[in-house]
Amino acid sequence: MSGAKALKLRAEDDEDLAVFGACLKGAIGCLNEMAYDREARRFAAILVRPRWEAAAGAAAQGAAVQGAQTPDEASLERIRTGLHFDHVSAVRYRRLDRRAPHALLHLVSIVSAPLSERFGIILSFQGGGEVFLEVDRLSGHMRDLDTAPDDPSPDHQSPNDPTP
């Protein structure tokens, strides 16, 4: 990785959710990496996302170079990211084959949808599949799980690093 700090984001409204969607666009996951804890009212997923922020940094550095282009998604570095939403009252899987839990799913978007007394969060995947979350209020968290070896943040120290 290129020294960028791991992302740690929170979503409490539609604008925040749009940031999640932008960061996770093109992420890959599978159903066996998604879970709903009914008692805790939490939906969680682990996805492998493109590091769009690294591409933006490279594009900014290369802006002086004539003809510099943002790399395409396939050429981007990828990182494992945890995503969870709280206050979830129901989860529905639409057009996803739950008999194939290891099949790769390519995330297209994350959007909210107003319901009569609640909200819906829709994770849409390539091919038309969706995970629909019914929530009492929008409360989501996204955090990169992998870190760069040269990430200086205290949360990401090497196990061999003796400094506290």
Tell me the CA end-to-end span of the chain in Å, nearest whole number. Answer: 23
- Give pLDDT, residue 147: 72
- Give pLDDT, residue 164: 43
User: What is the SS3 assignment for 24?
Assistant: helix
Residue 6 has pLDDT above 50, yes or no: yes
| Separation CA 59–CA 63 (nearest Å) | 6
Average pLDDT, the chain: 84
The model's pLDDT over 109-156, given as tens digits with 9 standing for 90+, comes to 999 998 888 899 999 999 999 999 999 999 999 999 987 545 555 554
CB 89 within 8 A of CB 38: no
- Give pLDDT, residue 54: 75
The model's pLDDT over 31-77, given as tens digits with 9 standing for 90+, comes to 999 999 999 999 999 999 999 887 665 555 554 444 445 556 667 88
- Give pLDDT, residue 58: 56
Q: How far is CA 24 from CA 62, 99, 100, 161, in A?
A: 24, 25, 22, 31
- Give pLDDT, residue 115: 83
DSSP-derived secondary structure letter, 6:
P
- Give pLDDT, residue 37: 98
Query: 4 or 5: whose pLDDT is higher?
Result: 5
To 5 degrees, how large is the angle CA 10–CA 23–CA 125? Answer: 105
Residue 162 has pLDDT above 60, yes or no: no
